[in-house]
Structures are given as structure tokens and as C-alpha cells.
Amino acid sequence: MTKHFPSIGSGRLMSVLEVLSGKPVFPPPIWMMRQAGRYLPEYRETRKQAGSFLDLCYNPDLAFEVTMQPIRRFGFDASILFSDILVVPHALGRDLRFEEGRGPLMTPVTADDIHRLDGSDFHQHLAPVYETVSRLRKALPTETALIGFCGAPWTVATYMIAGHGTLDQAPGRLFAYREPAAMALLLDTLADHSAEYLIRQVDAGADVVQIFDSWSGVLDEASFTAFCVAPVARMVAKVRSVHPKIPIIGFPKGAGVLYERYRQDTGVDALGIDWTVPVSFGARLQSDGAVQGNLDPMRLVAGGQALRDGVDAILRSLGNGPLIFNLGHGITPETPIDHVEAMIAQVRNAAR
């Protein structure tokens, strides 16, 4: 039977926005990356109706349903749009399919292909996503923040270049070094269209947006600056030119010590930190604003003392500053639901 958490009352939307403005709130608001997903039986049932993963992303009825499922079950303080980072290159005319056990598959883009990326139907292609956002904002409890998102240009580019995910994104790195002009054009094209995508999500009702750079950790310092920081800064400036007050979360997974200048150099409001970031370092990052994270998803799978210790460490070290409690990456399909319930209860019942 689904366990419904009791209402946490009014004002939690404001608490999410307060944290993103740099103010501490305790207990901190909580949500999970990939909170709509295969660990939930109701998601698996809806997924069967869709036909394919992409059909699920582009069907406003079904995308709305799976986005709402974790909110109904757990009452998280934020809801994140259900979609995928690769809808942006798909909307630029690239082919895309998902295969069970292999993930996303695309025809690898070439330097010549980049000049032919076609954004003429970009927003029409993504209209179902905007419709989903609009429906969500109307249906969500007023206390629940709605997060829109997209992939960062570097991470999206790596999939476009390799045609699939790899262990270290070597194809993308080699392409960047061998074809610097083509890579610059690809990153600029993705940055501009991704910013427009976020702007439309805000227009449709998103309260916050997050930029996922899942593969920033494979780059050296100079490449991180050129391929991760610069394109995201371009995006932030473009979004802020239309929506100057929208909170933006940047998640450069694996950035390590390079997290320290990321906020300043990109202009994002908050840093999503992965589970490898020491909480002492996370506390230092809080001196410049909010952080989000950073429980190891495997602690959530393990449960018990490992989970309790992980939650305690984060609350103890980061709870006095502006914190949105989250995982350090997405929840995995094998995660027991009762472990999620235990985590939420521990965070919400925490005392200083």
C-alpha cells in the first residue's frame, strides 16, 4: 500500500526559494534526482502504456502522471519535470532512440553535420514538454516547487558525438581537441537552444530550473573552463535576459575542486554537489550560496545504519547553511521504497 506522508503545511515553496536565495532553512527542503522512475511500481505500470521511453517523454498525459507519482507518494518539496536531456538534439533534427540495457542511441554527429542542425521546428517539437510543465504547475500543491531542466551543452554534446554513453566520454574529448571550431559551434548551438528551452519552461510555469552536466568530471581544468563553464555562463545570461529572477541550479557532477569557482563563473544560484564532494568542502561552498545534495545513492539502496549515518553527516555539516537535501546523483532502480521513506522521515524530523 502506498504510504502518504502527512502534509507539511504551507510555505515550503517559499522555503525552497529562500534556500536558493542563500538563506538557511531547517529542516531543509528535500527532493530526489530521478524521483520519478523505475523504483516505483506505479511508474513501471505507466511506462508500459507509453510504448517507448521517448513516447513517455512526449506524451503530456503520461509525463504529467509520472512526474506527479512521487509527489503523491512522498510529498517532496519540489517536483522535477519528467523528460530527458537528449530531447534538445532530437528537436534539432538528430535521430534518437532508447534501447533496454543500452540507453540512448544516436547516429554520431560529424563536424559537417553541426552546420546542418535545424532549429526551425525546435519549439514545435518540444511543445508537448511545455504543455506538461503547464499542467504540472496548475495541478501541483502550491507548496511544491516545480523544477524545469535541461542537459548542459558539454554533456549533451558527448552523447551526440559518441552516439551513446561511454565510460569516460573519450570520443567527445577527442573531437573537442581535433575539431575545436566544430566543437565551439556545437556548444554554442546547444547553449542557445537549451537556454530557449529553459525560458519556455519558465514561461509555462517552472519555478526553478536545473542544468545537468553529468560528464563535467572527465575534463582537465582548461577544458572544464572552455566546455562546461563558458557554455553554461552563456545559457544563464540568456535565461536571465528574459527571466532575471528565476533561480538556476547548476550540477557539474564530478567537478571536484573546480566546483569552487563554478558558481561565480557561470552565474548559477545554487550548486548541485555529487556524493564524492566532502561535506566539509560543501560547507565552504555554502559561503557563496546554496548547495544541493549530496547523499550517495548507494547508501539509500543499503538503508539501515549506512543511510542514517549519511543523512546525519550532511545535516550536521551542511544543515546550518542554505541546503536543499538531495542525492549526489539519481536514485537507482533497485532502491527499496521503505528506504526512501526512512530518509524523508529522518530529514523532516531532524532537530538541530
Selecting among 12, 34, 173, 234, the annotated active-site residue is 34
Selecting among 58, 159, 197, 262, the annotated active-site residue is 159
Active site residue 47: yes
Active site residue 102: no
Q: φ and ψ at 146, to 5 degrees?
A: -105, 120
Selecting among 12, 39, 43, 47, the annotated active-site residue is 47
Selecting among 58, 73, 77, 84, the annotated active-site residue is 84
Instruction: State the residue for C-alpha cell 531543509.
Output: 28
Active site residue 38: yes
Active site residues: 34, 38, 47, 84, 159
